């Protein structure tokens, strides 16, 4: 079905019409029973699956990737795969609510420092437990929230499905192709809000793909998709028919919409946001084998270079102990891993300018083949800690000490000096973490980040459909940092504080040889994975049509990484 709102270069009257159509759709959604909502999500999953091949090809073209590139796997995982797993997880939540059960029925609860209640969000099903063996994630609820409160409040807008929240504007991200559809889905299910989605111009060529993939939502009047520049976004944000704005992007764009150059807000409606920041990669000193140094160096290269470094959650600053005897060996391994990563175009607008700015700010930076920079910074509020470069720039900060004293110093430094609160990564030998014991867990609790990944990348939290994703709570319009609110969160948890992801320090088989119960080899999202594209494509097909018969081929591909 083609609508007036599917065309590019819309004028104000066409935008007005699109919003009017969505008002009718909002009323229709309020009258839609939970069972029918679940069926709609299932139909949408089928159409996303049908468009997956074209989706990936279009995203690759937008990023200048050759169709034969080993990096195409990134577009599968962060495109149709991410949307399919979310649709499946949201559908499962709707089925639970429709049967009169809490979405948390059967979920494992735990405790974190401060008496916080935690909810297991990965694995979300039996398939996760096998395909991501060794990885787990827990959502930490805010202090004082009880298990009983968590159970009765899980469901958010679907607990009162007839109460519609009007028409929202979703300002889509321009770096990861699943973000805009995921934001639309969360608005619809978590908040009973239909959406007009304005694409970021970098993804304008995906308009026909999104239109086809999300056709069931469009046909029901729950979604309209438009393109255009900042003027279109500004017109929609301040339109009287829009009840809420959600943006994934930069703090500067957020402030432009909210304040428009003034000191007081001019946006007369709520806004939620996911805005990135400067993500630390905290390295705990310990005794690392040569294999550990190489593997974790590839891990760091992935955190920085995935999607070319154009990720809100890209690791930007390594935080090391100045007294770690293996510091130099690790930095050499990181430089080698950065150099060995597959080349790719500097495709995101402004990348060259940001790279030149980093080079000017740090003339002694090490230039890495492939247009990458390794920067030795200091633990102060200088550019590397206060600027999200959104480019392949990796900083290095050294702090003195070892053990708990070092970790406590790091927590204080990153909380105080690093821009944003979206995500932090911690790498450490399991024996080191065990020795720290309760002190380690207390340090994690003091880190003010929305997602914390321990021996994993926070990107795993982003791709876990049931995991809440967003900044640490407490930001305000005039100090927005990494944003306000959460997305994804397929269990529809209320009162979320953060997500904590845990992974294996070593891949299989070394993980088992060293006492870690983890059967996953090098993950397919590593930039050094040789079979990442095939594995990601097979995982996407599995997400669309799960079957035990498909597992052997997926695992065989994964083990060729």
pLDDT tens, 542-560? Answer: 999 999 999 999 999 999 9
- Residue 6 is encoded by which pair of tokens? 């599917």
The residues, any chain, with a CB within 8 Å of residue 12's CB and separated by 6 or more, are 235
In whole angstroms, what is the distance from residue 65 CA to residue 113 CA?
A: 45
* Number of Cα atoms under 13 Å in the Cβ half of residue 15: 24
| CB of 87 closer than 8 Å to CB of 47 | no
* Number of Cα atoms under 13 Å in the Cβ half of residue 127: 18
Q: Residue 547 gets which letter from DSSP?
A: -
**pLDDT-flagged residues of the chain (< 70):** 1-10, 378-381
pLDDT at 8: 42
Strand-pairing partners, residue 116, are 112
What share of residues in the chain are helix, strand, coil (percent, to 5)? 45, 15, 40
In whole angstroms, what is the distance from residue 450 CA to residue 422 CA?
A: 5
**Level-2 CATH architecture, domain 4-103+155-274:** 3-Layer(aba) Sandwich (3.40)
| CB of 4 closer than 8 Å to CB of 17 | yes
In whole angstroms, what is the distance from residue 415 CA to residue 448 CA?
A: 6
CA dist list (Å): 414 to 155, 218, 397: 34, 43, 11
The residues, any chain, with a CB within 8 Å of residue 512's CB and separated by 6 or more, are 518, 519
The residues, any chain, with a CB within 8 Å of residue 339's CB and separated by 6 or more, are 368, 369, 370, 372
pLDDT at 415: 98
Please tell me whether residue 476 adopts helix, strand or coil conformation. Answer: strand
Taking alpha carbons only, the member of 214, 204, 208 closest to residue 183 is 214
pLDDT at 382: 72
In whole angstroms, what is the distance from residue 285 CA to residue 265 CA?
A: 46
pLDDT at 4: 41
CA dist list (Å): 69 to 254, 391, 533, 559: 34, 20, 9, 19
pLDDT at 376: 85
CA dist list (Å): 197 to 59, 179, 503: 17, 11, 35
- Total-model pTM: 0.96
| CB of 166 closer than 8 Å to CB of 26 | yes
Helix (H) or strand (E) holding 291: helix 290-305
DSSP per residue over 215-264, as a string?
HHHHHTTSEEEE---HHHHHHHHT-TT--EEEEES-HHHHHHHHHTTSSS
Q: Which residue has the tokens 């979703």?
A: 170
* CB neighbourhood size of 381 (10 A): 12
Query: Residue 387, class by beta-carbon neighbours within 10 Å (0-12 exposed, 13-18 middle, 19+ buried)?
Result: middle
Cα angle vertex 310, ends 305, 311, to 5°?
90
DSSP per residue over 336-390, as a string?
HHHHHSPP----STTHHHHHHHHHHH-TTPEEETTTEEEEE--SSSSHHHH----
């Amino acid at each position: 079905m083609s609508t007036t709102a599917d065309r590019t270069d819309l004028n104000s009257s066409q935008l007005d019409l699109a919003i009017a159509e969505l008002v009718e759709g909002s009323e229709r959604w309020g009258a839609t029973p939970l069972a029918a909502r679940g069926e709609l999500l299932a139909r949408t999953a089928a159409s996303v699956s049908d468009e997956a091949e074209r989706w990936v090809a279009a995203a690759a073209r937008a990023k200048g990737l050759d169709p034969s590139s080993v990096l195409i796997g990134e577009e599968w995982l962060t495109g149709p795969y991410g949307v399919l797993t979310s649709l499946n997880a949201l559908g499962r939540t709707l089925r639970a609510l429709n049967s009169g059960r809490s979405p948390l029925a059967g979920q494992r609860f735990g405790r974190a420092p401060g008496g916080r209640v935690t909810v297991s969000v990965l694995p979300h099903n039996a398939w996760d437990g096998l395909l991501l063996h060794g990885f787990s994630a827990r959502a930490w609820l805010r202090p004082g929230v009880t298990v009983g409160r968590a159970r009765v409040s899980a469901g958010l807008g679907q607990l009162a499905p007839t109460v519609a929240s009007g028409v929202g504007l979703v300002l889509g991200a321009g770096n990861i192709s699943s973000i805009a559809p995921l934001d639309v889905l969360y608005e619809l299910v978590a908040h009973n809000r239909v959406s007009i989605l304005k694409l970021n111009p970098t993804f304008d060529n995906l308009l026909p793909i999104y239109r086809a993939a999300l056709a069931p939502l469009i046909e029901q009047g729950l979604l309209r998709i438009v393109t255009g520049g900042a003027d279109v976004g500004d017109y929609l944000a301040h339109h009287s028919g829009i009840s809420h704005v959600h943006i994934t992007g930069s703090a500067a764009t957020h402030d432009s919409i909210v304040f428009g150059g003034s000191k007081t807000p001019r946006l007369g409606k709520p806004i939620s946001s996911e805005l990135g920041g400067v993500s630390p990669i905290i390295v705990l000193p310990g005794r690392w084998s040569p294999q550990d140094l190489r593997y974790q160096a590839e891990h760091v290269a992935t955190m920085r270079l995935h999607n070319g470094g154009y990720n809100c959650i890209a690791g930007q600053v390594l935080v090391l102990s100045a007294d770690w005897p293996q510091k130099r060996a690790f930095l050499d391994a990181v430089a080698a891993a950065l150099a060995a990563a597959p080349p790719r175009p500097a495709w995101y607008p402004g990348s060259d300018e940001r790279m030149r700015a980093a080079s000017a700010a740090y003339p002694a930076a090490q230039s890495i083949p492939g247009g990458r920079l390794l920067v030795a910074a200091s633990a102060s509020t200088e550019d590397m800690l206060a600027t999200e470069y959104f480019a392949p720039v990796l900083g290095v900060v050294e702090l003195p000490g070892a053990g708990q004293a070092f970790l406590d110093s790091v927590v204080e430094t990153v909380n105080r000096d690093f821009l944003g609160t979206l995500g932090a990564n911690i790498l450490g030998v399991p024996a080191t973490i065990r020795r720290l014991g309760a002190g380690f867990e207390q340090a994690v609790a003091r880190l003010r980040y929305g997602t914390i990944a321990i021996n994993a990348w926070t990107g795993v939290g982003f791709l876990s459909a049931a995991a809440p994703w967003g900044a640490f709570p407490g930001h305000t319009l005039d100090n927005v940092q990494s944003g306000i609110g959460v997305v994804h969160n397929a269990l529809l948890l209320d009162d979320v504080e953060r997500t904590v992801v845990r992974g294996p320090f070593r891949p299989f088989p070394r993980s088992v040889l060293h006492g870690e119960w983890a059967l996953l080899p090098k993950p397919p999202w590593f930039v050094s994975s040789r079979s990442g594209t095939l594995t990601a494509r097979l995982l996407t097909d599995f997400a669309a049509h799960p079957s035990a018969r498909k597992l052997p081929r997926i695992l065989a591909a994964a083990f060729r990484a």
